[in-house]
Copies of this chain bind each other. A is one copy, B any other.
């Protein structure tokens, strides 16, 4: 791209965050020939829907991460900068990065994502592990295997060892997938790889504050998920809230203290830090308050999209923090930036449905037009969708190899290694 063309375009668009929302915005802008700088504190995009498979050693971390620079290779007008956003001067249209540089922009898309919301529960941030980043998934996996090592060693010496209890907090899609995968992992590895342990002396408990799993799904799908989790030995505790977490226990109400070797926190995310630090208007859970077209009040050139934004839903509430809303909002912001001066067009989320997998050949899928799948058809739909949307042909191949292997040899369990 010539110097002249750049000058014609002005400072270009800065997109902050290489998650689903940011990548979607970059895609639309790049296809329109706009000059874009993508900024992300990591060098990679994380395919978050499969993090629970990294956490349960079914996939390697590299299978769900995709190099940001590689992703942008064929977009000649797009640059990548590995840095974190630390400040904004909205009136000057300047973003400050933690590498000491500043980027001028004439359009800005904030897609910085969220962080696990521990809801201020004492000890949760210190002792529970979220399920939002690749590091989270690594941490769950490493703690889990260290716990099994330790329990196996204790069981070898003691006649009645302490049971191994894994607690998942939150019965949404992430919690359900995590609990199901943990139960299947215990089924697969305990009897064969940790021979002093009894499977019966290990347990997965799912704690949910409300009276049902998968609140966003239809009742028959919720019932199916509940039955499938129970069939896999997951103990379900409804109407139960977590009061505190320590290194060895979780205190629930009702119920009191429960031994817990690992607490996975899948109760929700919030965007509280960055919007507050940047002085942006905030909605619930610390998300950025945006206008109907996803721009900031008073700054039609600045957009917030994906998990960091309170994306308006048609019913007046906000859209769930999932991949589809992130992608659609990223695209919408980019389209708005491509027609400056035009009348703002409100973001309208098109519900493409939702899926959650409970285990091998067990999933629920809520598709448009009230199509509802359970069991093997839902599971196959889930596998296909995730393979198709997983970025990058090599990652797809690698995941396919791992999944096929896993499926054919499931009883023999996974071989992803825990690192310490």
| B-binding residues in A (CB < 8 A) | 42-44, 60-63, 65-67, 69-70, 73, 79, 81-82, 99, 101, 134, 145, 149, 153, 156-157, 189, 192-195, 392-395, 397-398, 401-402, 405, 409, 412-420
Contacts and interface: CB of A to CB of B under 8 A. Distances in A.
Given A43-B417, A79-B195, A412 B73 contact: yes
17 contacts: A42-B420, A44-B418, A60-B62, A61-B62, A62-B62, A62-B417, A65-B417, A65-B419, A66-B417, A69-B193, A73-B192, A73-B193, A79-B195, A101-B157, A394-B409, A394-B415, A397-B401
Contacts of A415: 66-67, 70, 392, 394-395
Contacts of A393: 405
A81 to B, nearest CB: 7
Contacts of A67: 193, 414-417
Nearest to A192: B73
B60 A419 contact: no
Contacts of A401: 394, 397-398, 401
A60 B134 CA distance: 15
A291 B44 CA distance: 52
Contacts of A157: 101
A394 B195 CA distance: 23
A145 B195 CA distance: 41
A149 B417 contact: no
Contacts of A419: 42, 44, 61, 65, 134
Contacts of A398: 60, 398, 401-402
> What are the 6 tightest A-B residue pairs by CB atom distance, in nearest-first order?
A60-B62, A69-B193, A44-B417, A65-B417, A394-B405, A82-B149
Contacts of A405: 393-394, 397
Contacts of A73: 192-193, 412
Given A415-B395, A419-B134, A70 B193 contact: yes
Given A81-B153, A153-B99, A401-B398, A416 B193 contact: no
Contacts of A60: 60-63, 398
Nearest to A150: B99
Contacts of A413: 70
A30 to B, nearest CB: 14
Given A43-B149, A153-B99, A393-B405, A194 B69 contact: yes
A396 to B, nearest CB: 10
Contacts of A153: 81, 99, 101
A43 B147 CA distance: 12
Contact of A43 (B101, B412, B418): B418
Contacts of A69: 189, 193-194
Nearest to A420: B42
A203 to B, nearest CB: 21
Nearest to A400: B401
Nearest to A394: B405
A153 B415 CA distance: 39
Nearest to A406: B394
A79 B157 CA distance: 14
A60 to B, nearest CB: 4
A395 B128 CA distance: 31
Contacts of A149: 43, 82
Contacts of A63: 60
Nearest to A393: B405
A416 B62 contact: yes
A99 B154 CA distance: 11
Contacts of A99: 153
Interface hub of A44, A192, A415, A416 (most chain B Cβ within 10 A): A415
Contacts of A66: 415, 417
A69 B413 CA distance: 11
A363 B139 CA distance: 39
